[in-house]
Chains A and B, each alone.
Chain A
Amino acid sequence: MKIIKNILSAITLTMLFVSCSSNNCPLDNYVSCNYYFYDYEGNAVTLADTLTVTTLLPGYKTQYTYSKLGYPTVTFERQDSTYIEDGYSEKIETVRKDTILINKLTNATHFQVPMSYFNNEDTLVFSYASIILSDTIKISHSSFPHVELPECGTYRFHNLKNATCTDRYIDRIKISNAKVNYEGNENIQIFFNATAE
């Protein structure tokens, strides 16, 4: 009986120090601002056009363009002398540091793009395949760091303040959820100048 008591005591003491380890971080941890498409009347639509979203970045960069008659023109951010040896002509120019966030999106109901960590305003340029003109969206926001658990690392969350747009293809935009995090909620509604068929 005494032996059983000692064994039970040892097991109980051991269990006090046993612990399990697991990762409790969110699986979908991509912080993005989610834009959803609607028609003029407010119906959710699938965009039939091809959409490219470019964001304006502060500052400029040097761009190298190589062209040759009968060959496609190529552009690099650094010089490549092999093209000159192959007979290409080189054009060096200073351009804005803009970058493409969404490239040729088709048949989509929504898209998601990141937001700047330290700027107060993001500018997105919408280019369409069907028309030459483009739309520009400006999103004012504040950003702050966020930690769920130390093991999950650091994130940058945002609070949307204001949204404006041009009116070529877009009729209006509306902030539906100002909190931008990794929960995947709809944040901005884009209403196009068309109705769903």
Chain B
Amino acid sequence: MKISKFSSMLRLNSQATIFAFLAFIATNAHGQTLKGVNAEGKTITIDSTLVETKNKEKPTKWIPTVSDVKPPLLLFQGFTLSVDLLGAGMRAVSDYGNLEAALRLNLKNTYFPIAEAGYANCDIIDDNTSVHYQTKAPYMRIGFDYNILKDKYQDNRLFTGLRYGISKFSYDMAGPTMTDPIWGGSSDFDLTGIDCTSHWLEVCFGCQVKIWGSFHMGWSIRFKRELSSTNNDYAKPYYIPGYGTTVNSSCWGGTYNLIFDLNWGKKPKRK
């Protein structure tokens, strides 16, 4: 009786028929395997347990269990030591470069106060004008990085940060002999030991990824802006250690770092 009633309903379109079929089974044949005929006249077998699963109400919001809640991060997570490989490589293939190391504190895997120090040198002769510029001096930067990744527990980090840099250096500049075309006379162009102190700011963006154990590698790109340099009537510094060339009042730079991560205390394991 019920089956014949159901069969007459299958005369409607196929989709409506299937839903009606399922509803019928749910209300009339709970816990049984039933057979029916669809619109095309084919026999269909339905397991009533599937119907129960389909109709079960699903949760609309994920509620973490006790095992999902991560323990809070300690404030002091250790520090990292890093060396810049890009500066050393630049020195090998170009007229200037630097050796640089950095010490960075790790606060909650989020805030990273950092101090960078290095020694840079530049020795360049312009091909067209034969002007020779030379300097070598230490420099220092202080600032901080901020880990912008949402998951602070993982070993990889994505940074944005700010630096203040300073370098006190002296430079030499020499050029071809200067000859007065009208009044005559000539003199060597040779300036040595011009003292200069430069200050600058850097906005940086970078990342670091875990390579092996506590070793990480990472890079950063930096937008640098010169704040001030000691004025001199004779010349202005072409290259500031730690900053770069002074062709414009701002420049771009970068680092490629090998990083050794020293963690303080036990780092919570991620589930």
Contact = CB atoms under 8 A, between A and B. Distances in A.
Contacts of A146: 233-235
Contacts of B246: 149
Interface on chain A toward B: helix, strand, loop, or mixed SS? mixed
Given A118-B180, A156-B178, A151 B129 contact: yes
B180 A12 contact: no
Nearest to B235: A147
Given A16-B86, A116-B180, A153-B131, A147 B247 contact: no
B234 A16 contact: no
Nearest to A148: B236
B183 A57 contact: yes
A70 interface: no
B219 A12 contact: yes
A24 B176 CA distance: 21
B133 interface: yes
Interface string B123-136: 01110110111000
A89 interface: no
Given A116-B183, A150-B133, 10 more contacts: A24-B247, A58-B183, A114-B182, A118-B180, A147-B234, A150-B131, A151-B129, A153-B129, A154-B131, A154-B178
Interface stretch (B62-70, B152-160, B185-193): B185-193
Contacts, number: 87
A151 B128 contact: yes
A13 B71 CA distance: 37
27 contacts: A16-B221, A24-B248, A59-B184, A116-B183, A116-B185, A117-B179, A117-B180, A117-B183, A119-B185, A145-B234, A146-B233, A147-B131, A147-B173, A147-B234, A147-B236, A148-B235, A148-B236, A149-B246, A150-B125, A150-B238, A151-B126, A151-B131, A153-B175, A154-B129, A154-B131, A156-B178, A157-B233
Interface of A: 12, 16, 24, 55, 57-59, 99, 101, 114, 116-119, 122, 144-154, 156-157
A154 B83 CA distance: 38
A21 B131 CA distance: 18
Interface residues of B, number: 34
Contacts of A145: 175, 178, 187, 189, 191, 234
A55 B175 CA distance: 28
Contacts of B179: 117
B233 A118 contact: no
A179 to B, nearest CB: 9
Residue among B180, B254, B256 with most chain A CB within 10 A:
B180
A149 B124 CA distance: 11
Contacts of A57: 182-184
A59 B125 CA distance: 37
Contacts of B131: 147, 150-151, 153-154
Nearest to A59: B184
Contacts of B191: 145, 147
Nearest to A22: B247
A153 B86 CA distance: 30
Nearest to A153: B129
A59 B233 CA distance: 31
Contacts of B233: 144, 146, 157
Contacts of B173: 147, 150
A12 B217 CA distance: 14
B175 A118 contact: no
Contacts of A12: 219
Most buried by B among A24, A145, A150, A154: A150
Interface string B213-252: 0000001010000000000011110100000001110000
Contacts of B183: 55, 57-58, 116-119, 122
Contacts of B129: 150-154
Contacts of A150: 124-126, 129, 131-133, 173, 238
Contacts of A58: 183-184
A175 to B, nearest CB: 18
